[in-house]
């Protein structure tokens, strides 16, 4: 693939945005009740049920799924570059789990009462995510180098501990809610009001734009820390800024939808195959691809066994687990991985 040019950057983002818009329209027309977007265009607006189903139930959920997918896709691409680990993903590394624990603790402590004034749940999720990334850096570096496999192992362990803590607290507080917590922990897209969806959209667009602007530094980091430094990158600052931004967008969606697995792993690799490795395009492309992927997965989640719903995390895990193993096995071939 030829190197990235401004033309290819904007054409790719334009095409992906068009694909995204088309996907929103298709997903909004699929559901257990057979209303489609076309109903809304009819003289009578398709009747009240069509409008209510599509605008108040399906669309907010579709947009929420898109936001979650965008956040996880973009932060997956960033974590893979910054941690120099192609198997990294906010879920596998425990970043999503940390965010989930933070959000859960804030709720369990009754801090939700402050929610109209302060975004306590989101802030607690961010603290959990940032603390997890901080520990990952501390625990998996040796002699100034980050070690790939210890990092994954530590992420798995942290995930397990987080889940245990959440289940323990829920058992002590109110064990009848355990089932609900378990469902939330695998990730599912709730139907939220447009206020929250709008707020998250603003945060995400700014976050993904900020991360994309670090794209060249992320490219140079792929060549190694010292190489990046010798090419003029201030590695520590780039790391701090990108990791905090990626944790922030991850935490924001996890506090709403729970820790959805593997989106951040699959999406950047798929996007890299189509759009190339340059992070100036890869980061926004992963955001849009992630949005399309999770919207589609969530539409499947709410329709394939309708009226029973599958948590979307089940679908992403069923796709993602085998994908991870395939990717891991591929490491034997060539220096694609470290």
Partner 1 sequence: MSDPRAAGVPILSVHEVRFRHHGAATALFEDLSLHVAPGEFLGVIGPNGSGKTTLLRLLAGVAGPAGGEVRLAGRPIRTIAPPERARQVAVVFQETRVLFNFSVLEIALMGRAPRLGRWGMERPEDFAAARAALAEMDLADQEDRHLHELSSGERQRALIARALAQEPRIVLMDEPTAFLDLKHRLQIYAILTRLNRDRGLTVVATSHDLNLAARYGSRLVLLHKGRVAADGPPASVLTAARIREVYETEARVERDAATGAPYVVPIAPVR
Distance from C-alpha of 92 to C-alpha of 263, rounded to nearest angstrom: 10
Cβ at position 220, least distance to partner 1 in Å: 6
* Pick 35 or 272: Cβ nearer partner 1: 272
Query: Which residues 6+ apart lie within 8 Å of 71 measured at CB?
Result: 204, 207, 208, 249, 250, 252, 253, 287, 290
Cβ at position 131, least distance to partner 1 in Å: 23
* Pick 58 or 84: Cβ nearer partner 1: 84
Cβ at position 147, least distance to partner 1 in Å: 14
Cβ at position 60, least distance to partner 1 in Å: 34
Residue 298 φ then ψ, to 5°: -70, -35
* Pick 112 or 234: Cβ nearer partner 1: 234
Q: Which of residues 134-173 bind partner 1 (CB under 8 A)?
A: 143-144
Distance from C-alpha of 8 to C-alpha of 50, rounded to nearest angstrom: 40
Distance from C-alpha of 249 to C-alpha of 201, rounded to nearest angstrom: 10
Count CB atoms within 10 A of the CB of residue 290: 31
State which of residues 1, 55, 173, 240 lies at the interface with partner 1 (CB under 8 A): 1
Return the range that interacts with partner 1 (CB under 8 A); candidates 66-74, 76-84, 98-106, 196-204: 76-84
* Pick 93 or 185: Cβ nearer partner 1: 93
- Site string (85-114) toward partner 1, x via CB under 8 A: -x----------------------------
State which of residues 5, 32, 49, 160 lies at the interface with partner 1 (CB under 8 A): 5
With H, G, I as helix, E, B as strand and everything else as coil, classify residue 164.
Answer: helix
Q: Across-strand partners of 222?
A: none
The one-character DSSP state at 67 is H
- Site string (256-275) toward partner 1, x via CB under 8 A: ----------------x---
- Site string (298-337) toward partner 1, x via CB under 8 A: ------------------------------------xxxx
Count CB atoms within 10 A of the CB of residue 6: 8
State which H helix or E strand residue 141 sits in: strand 141-142
Q: How many Å from the N-terminal Cα to the C-terminal Cα in the chain?
A: 21
- Site string (210-249) toward partner 1, x via CB under 8 A: ---x--x--xx-xxx-xx-xxxxxx---------------
* Pick 100 or 233: Cβ nearer partner 1: 233
Cβ at position 222, least distance to partner 1 in Å: 4
C-beta pairs of 24-29 under 8 Å, 24+ apart in sequence: 24/59, 24/62, 24/63, 24/66, 24/295, 27/58, 27/62, 27/295, 27/296, 27/298, 27/299, 28/54, 28/58, 28/59, 28/62, 29/54
The one-character DSSP state at 56 is I
Cα 306 to chain centroid distance, Å, stands at 25
Instruction: State yes or no: residue 276 binds partner 1 (CB under 8 A).
Output: yes
Q: Across-strand partners of 145?
A: 142
* Pick 144 or 307: Cβ nearer partner 1: 144
Task: Copy the structure tokens of residue 239.
Answer: 């790391």
* Pick 56 or 330: Cβ nearer partner 1: 330
Cβ at position 63, least distance to partner 1 in Å: 29
* Pick 215 or 313: Cβ nearer partner 1: 215
Task: Copy the structure tokens of residue 109.
Answer: 């402590």
Task: Give the number of residues in contact with partner 1, rule: CB under 8 A.
Answer: 38
For partner 1, the binding residues (CB under 8 A) are 1-6, 9, 80-81, 84, 86, 143-144, 213, 216, 219-220, 222-224, 226-227, 229-234, 272, 276-278, 280, 334-338
């Amino acid at each position: 693939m030829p190197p990235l040019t401004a033309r290819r950057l904007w054409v790719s983002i334009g095409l992906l945005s068009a694909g995204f818009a088309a996907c929103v329209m298709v997903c909004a027309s699929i559901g257990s009740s057979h209303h489609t977007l076309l109903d809304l265009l009819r003289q009578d607006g398709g009747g009240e049920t069509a409008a209510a189903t599509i605008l108040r139930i399906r669309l907010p959920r579709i947009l929420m799924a898109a936001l979650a997918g965008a956040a996880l896709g973009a932060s997956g691409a960033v974590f893979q570059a910054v941690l120099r680990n192609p198997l990294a993903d906010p879920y596998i590394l425990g970043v999503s789990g940390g965010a989930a624990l933070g959000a859960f603790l804030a709720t369990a402590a009754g801090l939700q009462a402050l929610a109209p004034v302060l975004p306590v749940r989101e802030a607690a999720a961010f603290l959990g995510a940032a603390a997890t990334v901080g520990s990952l850096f501390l625990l998996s570096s040796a002699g100034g180098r980050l070690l790939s496999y210890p990092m994954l192992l530590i992420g798995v362990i942290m995930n397990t501990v987080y889940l245990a803590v959440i289940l323990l607290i829920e058992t002590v507080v109110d064990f009848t809610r355990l089932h609900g917590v378990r469902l939330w922990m695998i990730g599912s897209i709730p139907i939220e009001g447009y206020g929250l969806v709008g707020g998250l959209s603003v945060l995400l667009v700014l976050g993904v734009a900020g991360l994309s602007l670090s794209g060249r530094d992320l490219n140079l980091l792929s060549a190694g820390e010292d190489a990046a430094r010798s090419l003029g990158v201030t590695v520590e600052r780039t790391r701090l800024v990108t990791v905090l931004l990626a944790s922030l967008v991850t935490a924001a969606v996890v506090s709403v939808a729970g820790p959805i697995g593997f989106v951040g792993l699959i999406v950047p690799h798929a996007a890299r195959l189509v759009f190339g490795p340059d992070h100036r395009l890869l980061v926004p492309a992963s955001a849009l691809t992630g949005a399309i992927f999770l919207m589609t997965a969530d539409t499947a989640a709410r329709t394939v066994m309708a009226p029973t719903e599958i948590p979307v995390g089940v679908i992403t895990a069923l796709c993602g687990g085998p994908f991870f193993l395939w990717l891991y096995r591929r490491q034997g071939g060539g220096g694609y991985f470290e």
